[in-house]
Amino acid sequence: MISKAVVEALQKFVPSENILLQEPMAGHTTFRIGGPADCFLLLESEEQLKKVQKYLYLVGVPFFILGNGSNLLVRDEGYGGVILQIGKKMSRIAVQGCHIVAQAGATMGQVAHAALEHGLTGLEFASGIPGTVGGGVVMNAGAYGGEMSQIVTEVRVVNREGETLELDNATMEFGYRTSIIKHNPFTVTEVDFSLEHGDREAIRQKMDELGAKRREKQPLEYPSAGSTFKRPEGHFAGQLIMEAGFRGFQVGGAKVSDKHCGFIVNTGEATARDVREIIEEVQRRVKERFHVELETEVVFLGWEDI
C-alpha cells in the first residue's frame, strides 16, 4: 500500500487531479482485466516524469510505465505500486519533411495516419497495432514484414537519475520483440521516425489491405492483448497451439480464439487467473508434444513472471 507521505510527495510533481488511488486497471488494458493499482499517475510532460521517476527510485517505491496497456495482464489483486501512464497527455506528433517526431504516448495508429496525411510511407504496418509509440519501440513492435527497427532513427529516454539520453538506431540494439530498453531502466519519451515520400493513395490502399487482413485473421471483436506468445524459432505459435488441440480451449471467461490460436481472448468476464491458467497449460502441452518452449509476449504485472 502506498503511504500518505508518498502521495503527498507526488502531489508536488503532478496535479492532484492526475493522481488516482486504487484505480482499477481493467480500464487501462486492452484485455479489460486487472485489479486496482495503489496509485495511478497521468503524466503530462517529460519534466514530470523525470521528477517522479527520480523520487520513486530514491524512496524505493515500485512503479511501472504504462502506455496503452495493449500487451499487459494485471493480476486480479492489482498492483502494489505506482503506475506512470504516458498516454494522451503526452501524445504530440510533429512532421518535419520525411521525419515524424512523436511523443511516447501517441498510438502507433495515430502516427501511421499522420504519415498517410503527409504522403510518407514506411509506417503502414503500424496502422493496426494498438500500442503506443513508447511501448512499440521498447518491444520493437512489428507486423506484416515491417517493424520499428526499420524506421526509428532516434529515441529520447529518461534514466533513473532523471537525465535525458538520445539513443540512435544502432544503440537501441533492436531484436525480435526486444530492444536495449527492455533490459535497462530507461523510459521512452519521444521517437524520431525516418520515412520516405510516397503516393498517398497507394499508402492508404496498403493500410486498408492490412486492416482487412487483421479483421479476417484476428479476433478483434474480443478484448485481448494481441499475440500471447512470441514466435518460436522455426515455428508459428498459433499453429503449434492449434495442433496441440487448444482451439477454443476455455477457462472461465478466457478462451483460446477459434479464429487465431495465437490469441487468448476475454469473452466477457475473464479474470487474470483464467488467462494465466490457459497460458501455463498451453506452454506445458506444447513443450510436452513438440519440445518447443513458448515465451510470452504478454507482460505480467502484480505477480512473478511466468
Q: Which residues are catalytic?
A: 177, 227, 297
Q: To 5 degrees, how large is the angle CA 144–CA 208–CA 108?
A: 60
Contacts of 298 (CB under 8 A, 6+ apart): 71, 72, 73, 225, 228, 279
Spatial separation of the C-alpha atoms in residues 66 and 165, rounded to whole Å:
20
Neighbours of 37 (CB within 10 A): 28
| 8 A C-beta contact, residue 78 and residue 33 | no
Concatenate the DSSP letters of all residues of 201-250 into one string: HHHHHHHHHHHHHHHHHS-TTS-EEEESBPPPTTS-HHHHHHHTT-TT-E
Rg (CA), the chain: 20
Contacts of 8 (CB under 8 A, 6+ apart): none
Contacts of 200 (CB under 8 A, 6+ apart): 116, 119
- Using CA atoms in the order 39, 41, 47, 53, what is the torsion angle rounded to 10 degrees? 30
Whole-angstrom CA distances from 141 to 131, 147, 171, 247 are 9, 6, 17, 25
